[in-house]
């Protein structure tokens, strides 16, 4: 079974899946075992690894360390750049920043990464990445040099999602940006989920299990949290997120 098939199976078995994002610059190798143990306990469905700004030089070792502990749970690269590729991962989200108008992030970096991914025989999951305005400028916005989709212009977001569906993307990632002031609005998630059959990943600025549950109720297939777990050591939090997402 491919990692993508596993994700689809999770969605149909649980209604929605919970992804934990580990940014190598924030979740250091020495802190990983606790968060990974709590994640298993909570039945987290996949780990996303990556960051918009990678300052840690040993990405490959980082993935290798995570893979030692993750048993059957997919480890999927969520790359912020071409330097975030590793044969040790189960798959990579092959992102195209469709919300922007910077061809480098739509097809440029993809062309640079594709031959490496091919050589490593890494599963590539084509993903339309849509940045959504979320208050203050986010790192993803700044680093990509693109404008996000206006948060109250649902029709523009739906048009982008339809284009992504017609272009054959397997997943759509609705992204508020790491540490976003406001997460992606439920009206936008709902409108997109009504317009396309492509599974929706929603992340950025989700701080409470209740907020995560609202994203699922609006139509998210997968919810991602990153920052909140890095800044909060309460071991019950991952469990509360997982149960809110799985039972919504």
Binding residues (CB under 6 A) for ligand 1GP: these are 21, 175, 178-180, 203-206, 224-228
How big is the chain, counted in residues? 248
140: enclosing H helix or E strand: helix 139-144
Considering beta carbons, is residue 24 or 179 the nearer one to ligand 1GP? 179
Q: How far is the CB of 207 from ligand 1GP (least distance, A)?
A: 8
User: Could you say which DSSP state residue 92 is in?
Assistant: E
Considering beta carbons, is residue 129 or 169 the nearer one to ligand 1GP? 129
Q: How far apart are CA 130 and CA 120, in angstroms?
A: 27
166: enclosing H helix or E strand: helix 154-166
Count of CA atoms in the C-beta half-sphere (13 A) of 179:
13
Q: How far is the CB of 175 from ligand 1GP (least distance, A)?
A: 5
Tokens of 72: 């059957």
Q: How far is the CB of 118 from ligand 1GP (least distance, A)?
A: 25
Considering beta carbons, is residue 95 or 113 the nearer one to ligand 1GP? 95
Tell which residue, 152, 102, 103, has the closest CA to residue 132.
152
Q: How far is the CB of 137 from ligand 1GP (least distance, A)?
A: 14
Considering beta carbons, is residue 2 or 231 the nearer one to ligand 1GP? 231
């Amino acid at each position: 079974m491919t990692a993508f098939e596993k994700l689809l199976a999770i969605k149909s078995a649980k209604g929605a899946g919970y992804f934990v994002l580990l940014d190598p610059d924030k979740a250091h190798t020495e802190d990983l075992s606790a968060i990974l143990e709590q994640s298993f306990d909570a039945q987290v469905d996949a780990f996303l690894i990556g960051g918009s700004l990678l300052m840690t030089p040993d990405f490959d070792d980082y993935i290798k360390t995570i893979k030692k502990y993750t048993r059957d749970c997919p480890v999927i690269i969520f790359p912020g750049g071409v330097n975030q590729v590793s044969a040790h991962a189960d798959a990579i989200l092959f992102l195209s920043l469709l919300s922007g108008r910077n061809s480098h992030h739509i097809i440029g970096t993809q062309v640079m990464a594709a031959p490496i991914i091919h050589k490593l025989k890494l599963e590539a999951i084509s993903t339309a990445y849509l940045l959504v305005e979320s208050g203050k400028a986010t790192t993803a916005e700044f680093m990509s040099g693109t404008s996000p989709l206006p948060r109250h212009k649902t029709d523009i977001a739906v048009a982008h999602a339809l284009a992504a569906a017609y272009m054959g993307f397997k997943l759509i990632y609705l992204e508020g940006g790491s540490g976003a002031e406001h997460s992606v609005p439920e009206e936008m998630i709902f409108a997109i989920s009504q317009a396309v059959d492509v599974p929706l990943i929603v992340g950025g600025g989700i701080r409470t299990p209740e907020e995560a549950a609202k994203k699922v109720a609006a139509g998210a297939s997968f919810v991602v949290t990153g920052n909140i777990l890095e800044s909060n050591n309460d071991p019950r939090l991952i469990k509360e997120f997982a149960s809110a997402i799985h039972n919504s």
